[in-house]
Amino acid sequence: MRPLLLPFSLLVALVVTSCQTSLKPSGYLGSVDTVMKKEPSLPFSRSWKNPEADLASYTRLEVRPMRTKDLRELRGVARINVRNATERVRRDAETLATLGTRELAKELGRSPNRKLRVTTQPSRDTGTLLVETNLVEVEPGRPSMQLLNFFVPFTSSLNRPAIGIEGRLVDANSGEVLFAFSDLERAEISFFDLQRFSYYGVQRRELKRWGSQLREVVESNGRSLVRDAFPVQIVNW
């Protein structure tokens, strides 16, 4: 049993760390950040909803391009990555932000009986909900560590790509924030994860999930259970 104890302990530690880590605020959400907390029924690290708001009542959604102005530089071990050379990470992040905007629009556009558009100049019309997001952290994957894991067990633990965003849903007419969230996601613990063999596959997967999760929040007015991916997956695509 002892030879298995260390790997099992490492697995438990990674799972606990993944579940408890929150995104350090960038200041983008302002005073709303002080009232956000972990909501058991929602998949985000922290969130807050105006109790008087009815998100489901909005018939028009306007998605603003995802911001990258507050993107943090990689620090510590995270800096040791091929993609961190010659400002590649920032260019990669801008590409991810564009994809994130598209995924949010795609998923929210599936919400029935609602019109949606992507715009840099949001309206102030009654019945319109603005979807605003801010990309804060992007840590590229380490595909080489994932490949090396076939020969040296547990080296894949050094390959934990991450992405962190902040977001808010705003009444276009009043400018009032009705819902806000902050989330930092890393790759789930998995025996095989196809997306960890690329630099940004995990981040692309998370952007799709956020779009789907926000759609569920809007449709249920934040009152229904919105599930996140389980932190341990046998096989993950």
Using one digit for the tens of pLDDT, what is the confidence trace for 159-216?
Answer: 789 999 999 999 999 999 999 999 999 988 777 777 778 889 999 999 999 999 999 9
Do 114 and 128 meet the contact criterion of CB atoms below 8 Å apart?
no
Token duo for residue 37:
């907390």
% pLDDT > 70, the chain: 88
Is pLDDT at 141 greater than 70 in this prediction? yes
pLDDT at 49: 98
Reported confidence tier of residue 20, pLDDT bands at 50, 70, 90:
low
pLDDT at 8: 41
Token duo for residue 233:
């997956």
Work out the average pLDDT over 110-114: 93
Reported confidence tier of residue 237, pLDDT bands at 50, 70, 90:
low
Q: Is 224 helix (H, G, I), strand (E, B) or coil?
A: coil
Listed residue (196, 209, 213, 207) closest to 160, CA to CA: 196
**Alpha carbon distance 40, 57 (integer Å):** 24
Is pLDDT at 17 greater than 50 in this prediction? no
Is pLDDT at 6 greater than 70 in this prediction? no
Token duo for residue 234:
């046998």
Is pLDDT at 134 greater than 50 in this prediction? yes
The runs of H, that is alpha helices, within the chain are: 2-20, 88-108, 143-148, 201-220
Q: The dihedral of CA 145, 149, 153, 154: what is its sign?
A: positive
pTM of the model: 0.86
**Alpha carbon distance 31, 28 (integer Å):** 9
**Digit-coded pLDDT (tens) for 28-71:** 999 999 999 999 999 999 999 999 999 999 999 999 999 999 99
Say which residue the tokens 């998995």 belong to. 190
Average pLDDT score, the chain: 87
**Digit-coded pLDDT (tens) for 74-109:** 888 777 787 776 678 899 999 999 999 999 999 999
